[in-house]
Amino acid sequence: MKTRTLLAAALAATTLGTAPAFAQTDMRVAQADYDRAMSENASAERILSGDVTHAFRQMGEVTDLILDPAGQRVEYILYETPTIAKIYGDDDGFVRWDNIEIERGVGAGLDLRIDDPASAEGKDRLQLTRAEADDRMVSRMIGGDMMFADGQTREIDDILFDPDTGMVKHFVVEFDADSLYSEDTRLIPAAMVSLDEQRGYWMAAQPVTYTYETWIF
């Protein structure tokens, strides 16, 4: 973060003749950080397209991720069993993040492997009401709004989690929804984001020592 802040300060101090070179360097740093975060963390969108498996058996399709009450980490994974499995008595259920391993699934999805099937529990054992889960359901957060210090709301495109702990690391936000040819998605560190429960959207705090160019990429 300090490196990007120094780059931004240097850019502001340069003459017009040298500014493009600094801008290109800053963009390369930003792109490298973005690519690294996307590769090192687990995408909520990809997990929601995956399955819950045990050995070679598909236990169900992921239907949602539920964050803990503080909104900081994934606590539960909800899944829906295939219709054919329900014929044999299997039912929808959930599993805690601590009991899964992430694997690359078929296509773009990420599968969640359960090594101990006893850790999967029936949906009736999840002691959580709809009202309690509402703001903690990741499927509802994606596509929701995030308010910024400039007064603009922008859409949450994805959420990135630490694959080991389930901690929320970054929000991926679409900055230019009107762009016809390319996406302008940027990473917002989770530490800078909080939920405004009264107004129902997420807020990105922008410290006075930062600008969009230095902390969003």
- Could you tell me which residue, 17 or 154, shows the higher pLDDT? 154
User: Residue 21 has what pLDDT?
Assistant: 40
Q: Can you tell me the mean pLDDT for 99-111?
A: 82
With a cut of 60, say whether residue 205 has pLDDT above it.
yes
User: Residue 154 has what pLDDT?
Assistant: 87
Side-chain half-sphere exposure of 131, counting CA atoms within 13 A? 0
CATH top-level class of 45-136: mainly beta
pLDDT digits (tens, 9 = 90+) for 38-60: 788 999 999 999 999 988 888 89
Q: CB-based burial of residue 185 (10 Å sphere; 0-12 exposed, 13-18 middle, 19+ buried)?
A: middle
pLDDT band at 203 (very low <50, low <70, confident <90, very high): confident
Q: Can you tell me the mean pLDDT for 66-74?
A: 91
Q: Can you tell me the mean pLDDT for 82-108?
A: 76
pLDDT digits (tens, 9 = 90+) for 129-146: 888 888 889 999 999 888
Q: Where are the domains of the chain?
A: 2-40+142-215, 45-136
With a cut of 60, say whether residue 151 has pLDDT above it.
yes
- Give the lowest-confidence range in 28-42, 130-144, 166-180, 200-214: 200-214
Residue 146 · residue 120 · CB < 8 Å: no
Q: Can you tell me the mean pLDDT for 179-191?
A: 76
Comparing 2-40+142-215 with 45-136, is the CATH topology the same? yes
CATH superfamily name and code, 2-40+142-215 = PRC-barrel domain (2.30.30.240)
User: Residue 213 has what pLDDT?
Assistant: 46
